[in-house]
Structure 1
Amino acid sequence: MPIEIKELHIKINVDEKAAATSTAASIDEKQMMRAVSESVEQAVNIEHRKKER
């Protein structure tokens, strides 16, 4: 029997100093652009395969 989730509540606490330093240090712009382009390419491939069926 499938379960349907009708409402989902998510609470988070953000420390601005910690978030700014960790994201800037861990991912540079080149890596981010590479990841985005690979994701877009995979999405296009998936859509192409769906159309072939």
Structure 2
Amino acid sequence: MPVEIRELHIRINVNEQTQANNNAASGTENTRQEIRKKEDALVAECVAQTLNILAEEKER
């Protein structure tokens, strides 16, 4: 008998501060922009994979 998952909750915490960043002021604008770019790339990859999974399920 197949198992059907109706809901899936995923929570992640992204924190890439190094010890040097902790010693400095709470991040410069460049560091914040880099972190934002990495977060955006991660979200874009998650969305792309989710859309691929949904497309595969729709084909079945």
Matched with 2:23 is 21
* Higher helix residue share: 1
RMSD over aligned Cα atoms:
2.8
**TM-score, normalised on structure 2?**
0.47
RCO greater where, 1 or 2, for CA within 8 Å and sep 6 or more? Answer: 2
Matched with 2:46 is 43
Task: Calculate percent identity across the aligned residue pairs.
Answer: 6
- Runs (4 or more) in structure 1 with deviation over 4 Å come to none
Q: Cα deviation per residue 1:1-53 (whole Å; 9 max; x = unaligned)?
A: xxxxxxxxxxxxxxxxx82137x48x700000000000000000000000011
Matched pairs, number: 35
